[in-house]
Amino acid sequence: MPAYKDDKRGTWYCKFYYTDYEGKHRQKCKRGFALKREAEAGEREFLQNVSYQPDMPFSAFYDLYLQDVRPRLRAHTLQTKTYRVKNHIMPFFCDLRLNEIDALTIRQWQNGLIDNDLSAVSIKNLHHELSAIFNHAVRFYNLKHNPCRLAGQPAKADEQKQPIRFWTLDEYSKVIDCIDDIKARTAVNMLY
């Protein structure tokens, strides 16, 4: 990744070739960098964002993912998605390369969530959020497979579904006989 000194302006620039999403070979020149390493970093960042290589860090891909899905989501959905990723997904996956994340890595992340005593529903929602990000990478950025699908759903063995509780006719009769207020009586009748 060469960077060149612009003697006329006293700054650095980078000039390189890349292949765009249509498969065309193009040349790009970016100017105005104060340091040589900034010019090289600018080239790397451009190539990661434009050539859509799935070996970019997870955090860089998440930024691309947000740019792609932001226009299609409601504000509250975007807020929920951002909260989940920022607090539960990004701390684990931030520096990992997208194509190096495998089913074992996903299982380790799931086990960490279970160890943090998150509810089974929360863990399941986080798994779906991460799976949606990887599905996007598979669909649009040439990732070979979704590691969340291979890892499977997270399960907490100690947490079982609570049975649905409802009143029997005898329980209802006992309660309704004790209520004197007409509004409360009407509300209980309507709910039963």
The answer to whether 131 and 176 are in contact (CB under 8 A) is: no
Q: Mean pLDDT throughout 79-95?
A: 94
pLDDT at 128: 94
What pLDDT was estimated at residue 13?
Answer: 93
Is the predicted pLDDT of residue 123 greater than 80, yes or no?
yes
On the question of pLDDT at 161 being above 70, the answer is: no
Read off the pLDDT of each residue in 110-132 and give the average, rounded to a whole number: 92
**Residue 167: predicted pLDDT:** 85
CATH 1.10.150.130 fits 58-151, yes or no: yes
Least confident of 16-20, 127-131, 134-138: 16-20
**CA dist 114 → 95, 117, 155, 185 (Å):** 22, 5, 9, 44
Dihedrals phi, psi of 132, to nearest 5 degrees: -65, -40
What mean pLDDT do residues 70-89 have? Answer: 94
- Provide the pLDDT for residue 157: 45
pTM, two decimals, is 0.59
Tokens, residue 20: 């765009």
Please list, in sequence order, all residues whose beta carbon lies within 8 angstroms of the beta carbon of residue 27, skipping any fewer than 6 positions away: 15, 16, 17
For the chain, what are the domain ranges? 3-51, 58-151, 164-192
pLDDT of residue 17: 87
- Average pLDDT on 142-147 reads 86
**pLDDT tens-digit readout, 27-78:** 889 999 999 999 999 888 887 766 555 778 899 889 989 999 999 999 999 9
Distance between CA atoms of 130 and 112, rounded to whole angstroms? 15
The stretches of 3-119 forming alpha helices (DSSP H) are 36-51, 58-69, 75-84, 90-93, 103-115
